Amino acid sequence: MRKQELQPATIEPSRRFFEAWLMFASNKAALLGLALGMVIAFVTIFGPTIYPTDPYEMVTSPMSPPGEELLLGSDYLGRDILAGIVHGARTTVLVGFAATMFTLIIGITIGVLAGFYGGWVENLLMRVTEFFQVLPGLLLAMVLVALFSPGILTIIFAIGVVTWTPVARLTRAEFLKIKEREFVMAERAMGATNASIMWRVILPNSMPPLIVAATLGVGVAILFEAALSFLGLGDPNTYSWGYMIGASRDFIWDTWWAVTFPGIAIFLTVLSISLIGDGLNDALNPKLRLA
């Protein structure tokens, strides 16, 4: 009898996952984004092993065009553009995911507290959110990076500080919608603590839109890193796609390929993440699954 009672609870999550996957798989653009993302992930993980050329090494004559000596040509110092793209993928993707995690930590924490407690706590936290929301994001990130020594951790911190506000507002909205539902009231009646209700009951039920926001946030973080590096505020000791564009920006008319190919890599990565995010938005939307 006990096995029969536990069976529906075991089947239900797998059933929801299967339905979400079918919804995601029916979106051709999302599948294209997923395939592209898998290629980028493969290059990020195995690329430096398959193509071990040092991106800092001057392997040929400066400003060598694509196809003559190197597949994608060389930059103004004679460094291999393909090696830079392959080795820079790790840094770019790492910054994207790490900054997004930092964004989620700040945004979800503030959104949870504001949406759950309401009152003066909500008013205070939302005023802080609005203050950061009206500030120019790229300008604030530039100031933060300039105040500290440019580095990967500084860039991740700066991106997280300027991009957490949409996550906080989304989390607050989800909490306001869910905290008055019957299953939450039942947890209160059984004596659950506020912390348990916030983090173990309401937050898991708020995750679908937050997962979509996190997916799109990776693309935003990658663009921020590229913009900071283009402006000369990236880490000069760490190779990334943004660093490649920034280092060659003064020679763009003579070596267009040194800027174009890293730009295409950034474009394809952000496009892949955007398509996956749109697919997840459809797959995790219960209204669309029921339609």
Q: What is the pLDDT of residues 189-245, one digit of tens each?
A: 888 888 888 888 888 888 888 888 888 889 899 989 888 888 888 777 888 898 888
Q: How many angstroms separate the CA atoms of 42 and 104, rounded? A: 25
Please answer whether residues 190 and 160 qualify as being in contact, where contact means their C-beta atoms are separated by less than 8 angstroms.
Answer: no
- CATH label of the domain that carries residue 214: 1.10.3720.10
Look at residue 149 in the predicted model and tell me its pLDDT. Answer: 76
262: in domain: yes
Question: Residue 116: inside a domain, yes or no?
Answer: yes
- 99 within domain boundaries: yes
Listed range (98-107, 177-186, 207-216, 228-237) with the worst mean pLDDT = 228-237
Q: Is the pLDDT of residue 39 over 90?
A: yes
Domain assignment of residue 20, yes or no: no
**Considering the domain boundaries, does residue 124 fall inside one?**
yes
Q: 3-state SS of the chain: helix, strand, coil percent to 5?
A: 75, 0, 20
Residue 140 resides in a domain: yes
Looking at the domain assignment, is residue 1 inside a domain? no
Per-residue model confidence (pLDDT) at position 3:
40
First to last CA, the chain: 35
**Cβ atoms of 43 and 86 closer than 8 Å:** yes
22: in domain: no
Rounded to 5°, the CA angle 9-13-15 comes to 105
Which amino acid, one-letter code, is at 97? Answer: F
Q: What letter would DSSP give residue 253?
A: T
Q: Domain total for the chain?
A: 1
Distance (Å, rounded) from C-alpha 112 to C-alpha 135?
23
Range of the structural domain that residue 125 is part of:
28-60+70-285
What span, in angstroms and rounded, lies between the C-alpha atoms of 36 and 271?
9
Lowest-confidence segment of 74-78, 115-119, 128-132, 278-282 by average pLDDT: 278-282
